[in-house]
Structure formats: C-alpha cells, structure tokens
Structure 1
Amino acid sequence: MSNIPVNCFLLRYNEIGTKGKNRWQFEQKLLNNISRQLTNRNEFNYYRDQGRFALKKRDNSFFSPKEIQIATEALNRTFGLESYAPGIMTDPDSDTILELIEKHFPSAYELGKNQLLPQQDYTCRVRCRRSWKKFPYTSKEMEINIADKILPSYDDLKVNLKKAHLTIGVEIRPDIAFIHFQDYKGLGGLPVGSSDPVLCLLSGGIDSPVAAFKAMQRGSHVNSVTFESFPYTQPELIDKVAKLQNILDRYQDRPAQFYACNMAESQKMIRDKCSERFRTILYRRIMMRVSSVLAVHLKAKALLTGEAVGQVASQTLANMDTINRSTDTLVLRPLVCMDKNEVIAIAEKAGTFDVSNIQCADSCTTFAPGKPATNGNPRLLEEQETRYEASDAIIDCLKNTRLIDTHSLEETPVPELIEIYEQNFKRQWFGND
C-alpha cells in the first residue's frame, strides 16, 4: 500500500446483499469473522449504517503501518467480503473532501504510475456515491468538482469512466464521508459459518484442500478426516495433512476438528479376499462409510471430496456413482468439472500448494491394483463386499479413528463412533448379518 494515511477500511459484500430479511445475520457473521482474524481485535471497531460497513480504530485515529498489515491480512482471509478499500473517514463537507483529495492524490498518482506497463496510457476516473440527499452537490456534480480540481495538474492522465488504473472514490453519508484511492479484491462468497458444516475427506494431495477452501467460500465450516495405513504409509503423512488443516483454518470461523483413521487392517482384508482390480473402489466405499459415521458425530450435513471427473481410475462417472451408493450421506465434489490448472491456481491462492507438493504416499496407494477397474458396477462391488467381513472392517476403522491436535499431534480416541455405527448404519448397510 502507499503512504496515504488510513483511518478506515471500507468493506463491501456482494452475495450477502441478495439475502432477504435475515441478511443482518450474514452481515453480523461477516463482521464477527473479520474480528476473529484480527490479532489485536480490541483496538478495532466498525462503522455500520444501512448496509455500509467500515473497519476503524475505536478512537477513530489513523492506523499504524503494523495495524494496516494486521487489517489487510484479516480481510484477505475472510470469506463473504467482495472487496475492500483502505481510506480516510472525514466530515461530509465538500471543501474538506476536496482538500484531502488534493493533498493525498499525488501519492496515489505515483503508486498507480509505477504499476503501468510500457507504452500503456495512464487512465483515471472519479466515482462518487451520495446517500445524504441534503448534501449541496449531486454525485455527478461532485465528480466534476473533483476532476476539475485534480486533473488539470496531470497532463499524462486520461479519463476512462469504465475501467481506469486509478479511481478516486468518494462516499458521502449524513454523518461521515469516505475517500479512497485503492480497491482490493476479497475472497467473495458467504461468511464461514453461515451455511451448514461439512466433513472433508482430506488427503495430502492438491485437490481435497482446494475442495475444503471452496466449501468455506460457500459458508460451510469444514472439519476433516484423513485416512492412513500405517505401517504401510509413512507416519509423516499425519503431520503433512495436519499442516494443510492448519493452513485452511486461517480462513475459518474456528479451528476444525481433525481426525485420522488407520484403515490398514480393512485394506488387508480386501487385498486377501477381493478381486485386485476393485481394490481402490472398495477402499473408497469404506472411507465414505467411516466418514458418514463421523459426520453424524460432528453433525455435518455432507461429505466433501476433491474428486474430478476422469482424473484417476476411481473418478470415472461409473466409479463415482458406485462409491456414492455406499452411503446415503450427501457427497459434495466442488472440483468435479475443474481443470487441474484451475485447481493448482486456487491451491496457490489458499497457500496449500507447497505442502501438498511434498511427496508422501496415502491410503489409496496402499496395495494399489496394477489395472484398476474404471467401470465398477454397484452390484459387482456389493458382491465383492460379501467376500470379506465388511462390517468388521468398518468397526476396525472406527476403533482406529482418533481426534488429532493439529499442532501437537496428540491423539484422542473416539469410542462413541462404534455406537453411532451400530445404531444408525449397520443394519442399513449390511442387514441383520
């Protein structure tokens, strides 16, 4: 940011504005989430008036460089915010507004000029919004007054009202006016916690963390479960996925509950008694069922995966359908039609890409078949599940599911999962056997 003084950040949302009578709940959730991100939240407060919000100091003083950094980091990690603008709050007086713009425009001009490409015209515009109708000038008249005051001193500036490199923004309200020269894009979407929670099947790969990030953008708090197969997978896998969860938690309203399930014994049952080419699909069906039990425990309304059509053998449409049929729990796949490069771009934006790129085998690669089936029929898979004690395999997985502290990696057993399974799922999935 430039050296223009800042005593507020003007906050804008988009999708929240489409909500009806309960819009205030989304607005409050957005502001609460911003406050949670602020490391010294007691020093900050909000200006609020008829859908317009600004982050400010409690005493209305100007932000220090450190406080600007704290506020910017918080706003960049808050879903539901369409854009924000660091600016100056002042009195709604035309002379005061013009004096402040004239004083600070040179700094904004230099900042914008430094960002130009060679041979690129430098363009500028003025945008004024006036919600106080007793103000002596209309919005259009105020824009002309500002342009007449500023532009004659800058011969290289050209006016572009549709898309300009530099915008002088002014908002005038009955009790206050805002002036700003810079706008920054927010994460958009809805505030985390405004939609129902979900449970993500979080692996150490690139895709599932991005799926979690996208679910947060739709307002869902995301808890997660990862599957490992120690001693066939490395113990470092848990540490890697915990690091991914910690990165994702930066965007949430509260830290996730992170679980790990060791499914090595169930995989050995499948390896020893089922057709090799169906192994991965059978693994995925167990994962879905274990996750469904955990979802009930967490009161999550859906499971979340990073699957995309055709990415690997288990992600053909036929195989995804077969995997879906293992449970009645709703399964969300935010990346289902996304290109890999799109996913990587989001992973880089979320900050998960570098950790995801650390090589570490996961459960799906344990005893992986040489020629996996790409067209698994649900009836064939149900017949395969009669070849081994599928219910016992799920119980073993639940016994080996632990709540993991993502910082200390301390493990806590979750014995109540077996009771949830036996009361809610066992007969549904396997009858009276």
Structure 2
Amino acid sequence: MSDATYGFDTLQIHAGAKPDPTTGARNTPIYQTTAYVFRDADHAAALFNLQEVGFIYSRLTNPTVAVLQDRVAALECGAGAVACSSGHAAQIMALFPLMAPGKNVVVSTRLYGGTVTQMTQTIQRFGWSAKFVDMDDLDAIEAAVDDDTRAIFCESIANPGGYITDIRAVADVADKVGLPLIVDNTTATPYLCRPIEHGATLVVHSLTKYLTGNGTVTGGVVVDSGKFDWAASGKFPSLSEPEPAYHGLTFSETFGPLAFTFHGIAIGLRDLGMTLNPQAAHYTLMGIETLSLRMERHVQNARKIATWLEQDARVDYVTYAGLESSKYFGRIATVCPRGAGALFTFAVKGGYEACVKLIEELKLFSHVANLGDTRSLIIHPASTTHRQLEENKQRAAGADPEVVRVSIGIEDADDLIADLDQALAKATA
C-alpha cells in the first residue's frame, strides 16, 4: 500500500499494518518477546552491522512498535519515526544526535512546565543549555542563535494556553541559520497540524495524550522529515561523520533521508534504552484508529465551551485560539485549518484561591496531570505542572496563577458547561 494515495482516515487505520503472516490475525499482535531467533550466523551479523533491517532485541526493535512507528510517520508525512517510552524521552531522543557538551538549543518561552524544567535543569547534566525566546519574535529567535546552537524547539499549539505557533515563519528562520526545527505536535496531533508540511525538520509527540486518547499508557515518538542535510554544515558529526561502533559507517551517507531515524534506533535506543513496550504500542495503535473522529469532537466541544466561558462574568479571559478575540485566531486557517485543538486556559475572578475552589467543586472534570483524554480534564498549572517556575516565568509560559488549564473531552458539551457553571458559582461566591 502506498501511503501517498490514501487519506488521513484510511492511514490512521491501515498505515504500517498488515495481517499477521503466520496466523492471519487482522489486528497487529502484541509481540511480547525480548529477543528474536536469527536465521543463521550471517543473518545475525548483517543485522548487527546495519546491513539488513530486522529484529534483534526489543530494546531496539519490536514488530508491534514498528507498526506504530510507520503509522505515525505516515500521518505526519515523515520519512521515518522512532517510538520511545514517553514524550520527555522523545525530546531527549530528538536532541541526542544533534547536541554535545557546550552546545545549546533555542526554545520557546511557551512550553509545558515539565519541558521547561527539562530544558533549564536536566539537559545541563549533559553539558547542554537552552535559550528561551518568544517564538512570535522572529528577530529574537535569530539573534539568540550562535555558533554553538544546534536546534530550535517549539510547540505547535502551546501547552497550557493553546497558543498557535507560526511554524512556517519559525522554520524560515531555522533554514536561514542552517538549523533543524523541532516541533512538539502533541496538542495538535497530525490531524489538526502537520509541522513537516510547514518546514519542521523533526516532530515529537507524547503518545500518552491524544494519539492514544484514553489515558492508559505513556509513550513518545520522534518523526523525521528526511529533508535536512545533516552533512552540509559539519555541525552534526554524529550523523555526518564515521561511527566507530559500526566500523566507520556514516549515517547520512548510508541511510540518506532515514539517517536520523536509523541513528535513533541504532544509537539512541541502544544506549539510552528509553524503549516503548509492545503492549503500550498496541494500546496506542488502537487509539489512533479513531483519532480524526475524536479530534473533531474535541474541537467542537472546546469551541462551544470556550465561547460560553468568554461570555461569563465570573471569568476574566479565555486563551482559546479558536475565539475571534484571540491574537492567534488568524493562524488557524494556515497552521491548523481543522481547528485550534481542545487545550486552553481561563482566568477565574478571585484569583488563585478561586481556581483551587473551582477544581474542588467540579464533578465531571477530572483533576489530573494529563491532557488529550476522552474525558475532560482540569488542572491549576501554577500549583502543579508549572509550580517549579518563578511567577514571571509562569506568566511567560501562559501558566498565570489565576488561570486553570482545561483539556476538553468528548462528552456532551452541555453537560460540561453545566458542571463548570455550578463550580464557578461556588468558587466565586
């Protein structure tokens, strides 16, 4: 099957999969195995030398996970993909072939709180650093780049505020300075936005969220566009120079558009070990089969609820980009024409304490540190996901102390509005 000839709804069900050749099982089996029997000694040697594609050990490759990788790559219009154990693992996997001690990455100020911590604290242990820039300020992005910068990183629809990034404009800056653009597309999903079509080099996802869609497993994936010339500048020796562990093989020369993908498996998963287990891959494959249907309802509900909240006197403001009042409304048509997603924040009159009270009074909304579930979810970022940040950095990230973040599910929208109504009444009494 040629993925290029099929639409999104077909690809989300069929891409990467075929009936099991032994049993005829129509659904992709869970290949719950650690290792795989080699045909003979020559076959084993060819696999270990990267001369043949196949299965060696499930830290590296697994048939269930392989189907998931192929499917997400097809949906994102990528050349290949590497699945791993979480969204945070995917971010490290994306940076790992690019970075080295003393190198830096230019990142958006509007990021999930855990990503901010990863970029400000954790990556320093590798000798890397991050420069935070407002991605709406293209001149500031370019000015932040120096000789040691190795990538630019942003979110397509930013968590928690739902702000939409002008990916094409940022990609143009990345192209000008000769750097890859990495886009976290978790909140949008490939149904609403395909960053590679807007010039992104790499796309990362937390599979935990909308792609799985039911809050059952954690997972991550890195999708490679296959379009970046890793050998052009000499800045990416892991991909453009001989690899000692594989007898001097050069990934960019040997694998071409799949250089980053093969490096992610042969080096990244081999040495970092952030492997996605096959059962989690199976759950995610089942979730992806209904992605377009779910995202349509997510967006429909979010638009209706955000409109209601914006008109409510107990609410100061709503950050949903799908509202005409949003400064990002004009980007919907070009960046995510099927809708602005289902994640946003709103400010409750009464501030921090009213936010806490609101959460305690809700009945249908679940108070959890997750998003992208079929269920509607709510959290107070300033006291949870972004609590490690100083208040000025919370506000820069869109996690103001007086706001709550909602991830609108696929329940009956009127029931969700009624739940918010009664909770707001008690929170602002």
Above 0.5 in TM-score? Answer: no
Q: Which one has a bigger Cα radius of gyration?
A: 1
Q: TM-score, normalised on structure 2?
A: 0.28
Between structures 1 and 2, the one with greater strand share: 1
